[in-house]
């Protein structure tokens, strides 16, 4: 098993890509701390994995609130004794064209998608530094690399994630900590489920593979970056987008 006895925190783990990652990490031997704002869904999914024999637990968190994040990390350390992997997967959208985008919607997306990554990473960092090893995996987006109409806030936050990833890779590499990011393309999640079918078909046309990705496609990229197979990979943004941005 590729993550045997590793302890992984996955944010946004109650559904979508985060849930797929929790399942795959647990299957590969990791002890998984499923962190999410949605307490009901998180407890339900963690209980299901536990019934399947996985060592998992749910930890309620608001990644935009540093006090909440610190409490979550403390609880994970009490439960599992260490932290080896952090997957900063939690994210939200509040789309709108620039002239209609509210200050509140701009700030909320930045708070969760950018500040939340900072909060979680800084909170786990003392543990990773103390043990002299760790993997940090951040979730960016093709929108953050190339922009996207109607996503000023989301693109700005995801671009910031890339900048933080590369900075932390330079700062933390000599401390034994690898920092990388994944940039998903169009993925079948709860977010895309709200998109009109006509637009979904237009998205598929843009993708050379002719289809949207699955949550498992991103989760498998997380798995690679969390495993020993990526020990010499640092500061990389791994595109998992079906070739849309070639």
Cα–Cα distance list, 160 to 113, 114, 127, 144 (Å)? 9, 7, 24, 8
Q: Return the closest-CA partner of residue 12 out of 28, 35, 44, 32.
A: 35
Rounded-to-integer distance, Cα 205 and Cα 210, Å: 6
Rounded-to-integer distance, Cα 72 and Cα 102, Å: 30
Rg (CA), the chain: 17
Cβ neighbours for 220, distance < 8 A, ≥ 6 positions apart: 24
- Let me know: does 114 contact 163? Beta carbons within 8 Å: no
Distance of alpha carbon 167 from its chain centroid, rounded?
A: 18
Distance of alpha carbon 113 from its chain centroid, rounded?
A: 9
The token pair at 162 is 């890339």
DSSP state of 114: I
Helix (H, G, I), strand (E, B) or coil at 166: helix
- 191-198 contacts: CB < 8 A, separation 24 or more? 191/16, 191/93
- Let me know: does 10 contact 87? Beta carbons within 8 Å: yes
| Catalytic (active-site) positions | 154
């Amino acid at each position: 098993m590729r993550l045997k006895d590793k302890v992984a925190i996955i944010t946004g783990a109650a559904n979508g890509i985060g849930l797929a990652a929790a399942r795959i990490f647990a299957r590969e031997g990791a002890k998984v701390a499923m962190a999410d704002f949605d307490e009901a869904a998180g407890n339900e999914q963690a209980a299901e994995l536990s019934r399947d024999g996985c060592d998992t637990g749910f930890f309620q968190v608001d990644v935009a609130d540093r006090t909440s994040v610190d409490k979550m990390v403390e609880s994970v350390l009490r439960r599992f004794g260490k932290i080896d992997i952090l997957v900063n997967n939690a994210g939200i959208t509040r789309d709108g064209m620039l002239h209609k985008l509210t200050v509140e919607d701009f700030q909320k997306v930045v708070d969760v998608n950018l500040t939340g990554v900072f909060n979680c990473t800084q909170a786990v960092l003392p543990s990773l530094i103390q043990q002299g090893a760790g993997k940090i995996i951040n979730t960016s987006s093709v929108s953050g690399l190339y922009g996207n109409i109607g996503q000023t806030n989301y693109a700005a936050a995801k671009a910031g994630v890339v900048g933080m990833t590369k900075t932390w890779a330079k700062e933390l590499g000599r401390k034994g900590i690898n920092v990388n990011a994944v940039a998903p393309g169009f993925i079948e999640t709860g977010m895309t489920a709200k998109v009109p079918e006509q637009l979904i078909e237009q998205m598929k046309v843009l993708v050379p593979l002719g289809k949207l990705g699955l949550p498992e496609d991103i989760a498998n990229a997380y798995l690679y970056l969390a495993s020993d197979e990526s020990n010499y990979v640092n500061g990389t943004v791994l595109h998992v987008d079906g070739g849309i941005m070639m």
